[in-house]
Amino acid sequence: MRILAVQMSDELFDKLGQHVKEANMTKQNYVNEVIRNDLMSHRQTQEVAVQKIWDRESVAKAIDDYIKVNEKIPSQKEFKNENGLPSYNAAGRCLAMSPAEYAQQRFEQWQAEQEENETNEPIMSM
């Protein structure tokens, strides 16, 4: 894991603290989410223009990325290119199980990782 230190004004830092408190998040989780969402949005915009050939690895990564960004399991209707996912049928052909089963398993694993990260998060004061 790497640490990103950024300098910001006291006022902005205080507003960030207030915002994450209201959102019941940590600063680390908030910054990670903002950066991840921005990068995923940029990546998805680029991928929509390119015809994608899906294989098991790319389908699994797309579902994992969707879960991380949206913090939920994609519904069958959300399996489409504009969401960074293949069609539900294409995903089913690539995976050894139904896309719904795979997404459910990965979501549960992701939740467990999030809970573990929160309990192991170091406390920093400035």
Please give the model's pTM, rounded to 2 decimal places.
0.55
What is the spatial distance between Cα 34 and Cα 10, in angstroms, rounded to a whole number? 20
Q: On the CB side of 116, how many CA atoms lie within 13 Å of its CA? A: 6
Each residue's pLDDT tens digit in the chain (126 positions)? Answer: 788 788 889 998 899 899 989 989 898 888 888 888 888 877 666 655 455 789 999 999 999 999 999 999 999 999 998 899 999 999 999 998 999 999 999 999 999 988 887 776 665 555
CA angle 106, 35, 82 (to 5 degrees): 60
Residue 80 DSSP symbol: S
Whether 90 contacts 76, CB under 8 Å: no
- Alpha helix positions (H), the chain: 10-22, 27-48, 56-70, 88-94, 99-120
Question: Is residue 91 a contact partner of residue 63, using CB atoms and an 8 Å limit?
Answer: yes
**Axis crossing angle, helix 27-48 with helix 10-22, rounded to the nearest 10:** 90
